[in-house]
Amino acid sequence: MTVAVPTELHRDIALPFLRAGIPVLVEKPIARSLREADELIEAAADANVALAVGHTERFNPAVAAARPLLNDPRFIEVHRLGTFPERSLDIDVSST
């Protein structure tokens, strides 16, 4: 299961899947607080399933458009050429 929603929803969306024993890939950052991240990690450990965090570029329209043109890619390098997206400013990267 891939969770690619606003950060504030990561815990609420991912937690039921983890508790049901379904591995989850969460878009970074994992959660909006250390407490929420710990809840996700604990649920994954309790269910013995994978919890991974990273960029879910497969939802990027540019990647989707390029995919039919590629044969067995091993590495894709991207550079952000646009302006900074303010959608990521709703969370803090501190450990509080």
Each residue of 43-54: pLDDT tens digit?
999 999 999 998
pLDDT at 57 over 80: no
**Average pLDDT for 13-22:** 98
Counting other chains too, the contacts that 44-49 makes at CB distance below 8 Å and 24 or more residues apart are 44/18, 46/19, 47/18, 47/19, 47/20, 47/21, 48/21, 49/18, 49/21, 49/22, 49/23, 49/24
